[in-house]
Amino acid sequence: MKSPQPELQNRDLQQRDLLPHLFLPALLLGCLVTGGMATAQEPLTYSRDIAPILQEKCVTCHNPEGIGPMALMTYPQVRPFAPLIKDRTTKRIMPPWHIDPTTGIQQFKNDASLSEAQIAMIAAWVDAGAPEGNPADLPPPVTIPSGSAWQLSDQLGPPDLIIKSAPYDVIANGQDQWWSPTVAFKGLDHERWLRAAEFKPSYPLGKKVVHHGHAVLVPEGERRQVALARYGVGKSWEIYPEGTGMRVPPNGRIEWNLHYFPVGAEGDGDVVEVGLWFYPEGEQPELETVGEAMFRVDGRNGMARGQDILIPPNSYQVLQGDYVLESAAVIHSYRPHLHMRGKVMSMEAIYPDGHKEVLSQVDKYNHNWQISYLYADEAKPLLPKGTVLKFTSVFDNTANNPINPDPNQWVVFGRRGVDEMSHAWVGITYLNEEQFARASAERAAAQTTLSVRQE
Ligand code: HEC
């Protein structure tokens, strides 16, 4: 790929909803300039217009204890950052949500993005001098859950079972550290069906230093693996759709795979917890899911994983991987995994009738974030047997890539953040023909917009 940059810019310009983007600031400006038209709104203010947006989309991280570098909860906290807020929101760097808004499915359960109208409103407010307005207009304050609470407990109550990693002594050396203890699992009397799981680093240390991790259960006397929970900054829990669950054996061992990346923080005996919520005793969901499965995005020509990755200095590399689905499937979530040179990853379906569709594309990948894009139930890709899933990764090893540590180096596969990887974690449940037929009929009845192709 010679120069993807112009293409990326073009795509920005082609955004479907460019119109409101241009129109709203003009409209708002018009109101400001004419200053008191009967119907015109008063100038935008922090108290009335901006605080509600920040409460909804920013303060979960930008609070005094959150992972954001500064709190954005009050006008005095927000005002000094107004220009930077405009910059990061108009460039869609904040809030972290890297899905291409112009391509593929856009309905997600965990959509964190700002709407075009909200982005335009923030920009117009900053351009107008970021006025505070009347504090009486402020929305009621929000309560920020403690970083040590289970995020899912509001919805699901406390976990049915909590498993813990073995303690690890974290050294603040700014280097990658791996910790892979094996811990016995003896939590249950009999098999249960997992409904939800949350991966919880310790608080406050672990939230700062655990970059990603997995807790995989290897059942006693069985060959399968049960991926109970996979974590990355930006992805900490999973709730399986109604009627879908993971089969958890009563005992076995948990293989923890924890990647610490401590910068300036350390402490002894760090423990990661995973909370598990089960379907009620005796209730068996209709569909068994494998949870997040890894799809390598490379040639896979019998080669060991990652051997295709070889990115010359100051250039780009494109890798593709494709898979023929041996049975029908429904996809719940999409989580690209690249490292610092990773820029784009798309997931495309080529249906048995030849029709092609980009299901999702992340076009602003940022290694600091491991976001799992959870499809809304009515938009989950429902794929017939024989569908080809095709993934494309684009690496940018030039100075254009803002998080490139050094564009003059060759880059190869490796576990460190400065080396590369190329795979997608896809939440997938395989269906037999009868289950697929039923799911398709339900989807058709719900008249969704997603096209479901059958031969
Ligand atoms: C999921 C957590 C999260 C959410 C939600 C979030 N941020 Fe951030 N924000 C961060 C983190 C972490 C950083 C540090 C840079 C990075 O890691 O990308 C950051 C950085 C920033 C910066 C740059 C600060 C600097 O000094 O460079 C700005 C500005 C910002 N955020 C504004 C916002 C606004 C405005 C929103 C809501 C519209 C928002 N953020 C939502 C976590 C978040």
Helix, strand or coil for residue 67?
Answer: coil
Check if the beta carbon of residue 198 is closer than 8 Å to that of residue 150: yes
Q: Return the beta strands (E) in 289-404 as ranges.
A: 292-296, 310-311, 316-324, 328-337, 342-350, 356-362, 373-374, 382-383, 388-396
Residues 6+ apart with CB under 8 A from 228: 163, 194, 197, 215, 216, 217, 246, 248, 254, 274, 276, 291
d(CA 382, CA 246): 19
Q: Which atom of ligand 1 is found nearest the CA of 114?
A: 38
Question: What average pLDDT does the structure give for the chain?
Answer: 87
Tokens, residue 306 = 């990652």
- Residue 57 CB less than 6 A away from ligand 1: yes
For residue 71, report the distance from its CA to the centre of ligand 1, in Å: 10
Radius of gyration of the chain (CA): 23
Residues 6+ apart with CB under 8 A from 321: 295, 296, 297, 298, 299, 300, 390, 391, 422
Using a pLDDT cut of 90, give the percent of the chain over it.
Answer: 64
Q: Which atom of ligand 1 is found nearest the CA of 122?
A: 35
pLDDT of residue 335: 94
Specify the residue with its C-alpha closest to ligand 1, atom 36.
Answer: 58
d(CA 237, CA 395): 28
Cα-based angle 239, 99, 332 (whole degrees, multiple of 5): 25
Count of other CB atoms within 10 angstroms of residue 364: 16
In eight-state DSSP terms, residue 330 is E
Count of other CB atoms within 10 angstroms of residue 428: 22
Cα-based angle 122, 128, 131 (whole degrees, multiple of 5): 80
- Residue 84 CB less than 6 A away from ligand 1: yes
pLDDT of residue 40: 52
- Residue 367 CB less than 6 A away from ligand 1: no
d(CA 102, CA 51): 28
- Residue 88 CB less than 6 A away from ligand 1: yes
User: What pLDDT digit, counting tens, does each position of 52-103 carry?
Assistant: 999 999 998 899 888 888 999 999 999 999 999 999 999 999 999 999 999 9
For residue 79, report the distance from its CA to the centre of ligand 1, in Å: 15
For residue 274, report the distance from its CA to the centre of ligand 1, in Å: 26
User: What pLDDT digit, counting tens, does each position of 156-206 carry?
Assistant: 999 999 999 999 999 887 778 889 999 999 878 999 999 999 999 998 888
Domain residue spans of the chain:
11-137, 153-285, 292-445
Q: Which of 434, 453, 442, 425 is nearest to 212 (CA)?
A: 425
Specify the residue with its C-alpha closest to ligand 1, atom 24.
Answer: 69
Tokens, residue 406 = 């050094």
Does residue 3 have a pLDDT over 80?
no
CA dihedral 63, 64, 70, 72 (to 10 degrees): 40
Check if the beta carbon of residue 200 is closer than 8 Å to that of residue 152: no
In eight-state DSSP terms, residue 41 is P
Class (C level, CATH) for 292-445: mainly beta
> Looking at the domain that runs over 153-285, which CATH code has it been given?
2.60.120
User: What pLDDT digit, counting tens, does each position of 185-197 carry?
Assistant: 987 899 999 999 9
Q: What is the mean pLDDT of residues 222-232?
A: 87
Cα-based angle 30, 34, 38 (whole degrees, multiple of 5): 105
Specify the residue with its C-alpha closest to ligand 1, atom 31.
Answer: 94
Specify the residue with its C-alpha closest to ligand 1, atom 11.
Answer: 68
For residue 68, report the distance from its CA to the centre of ligand 1, in Å: 5
Specify the residue with its C-alpha closest to ligand 1, atom 17.
Answer: 368
For residue 132, report the distance from its CA to the centre of ligand 1, in Å: 21
For residue 52, report the distance from its CA to the centre of ligand 1, in Å: 16
pLDDT of residue 217: 94
For residue 164, report the distance from its CA to the centre of ligand 1, in Å: 30
Specify the residue with its C-alpha closest to ligand 1, atom 18.
Answer: 368
Count of other CB atoms within 10 angstroms of residue 139: 13
For residue 342, report the distance from its CA to the centre of ligand 1, in Å: 20
- Residue 89 CB less than 6 A away from ligand 1: yes
Does residue 39 have a pLDDT over 60?
no
Q: Which atom of ligand 1 is found nearest the CA of 95?
A: 41
d(CA 422, CA 395): 9
Tokens, residue 434 = 């009868």
For residue 219, report the distance from its CA to the centre of ligand 1, in Å: 40
pLDDT of residue 127: 97
User: What pLDDT digit, counting tens, does each position of 93-143 carry?
Assistant: 999 999 999 999 999 988 999 999 999 999 999 999 999 999 999 999 988
For residue 96, report the distance from its CA to the centre of ligand 1, in Å: 7
Check if the beta carbon of residue 444 is closer than 8 Å to that of residue 452: yes
**What is the amino acid identity at position 103?**
T
- Residue 67 CB less than 6 A away from ligand 1: yes
Helix, strand or coil for residue 158?
Answer: coil
Parallel, antiparallel, or unpaired for β 287-288 and 244-248?
A: parallel
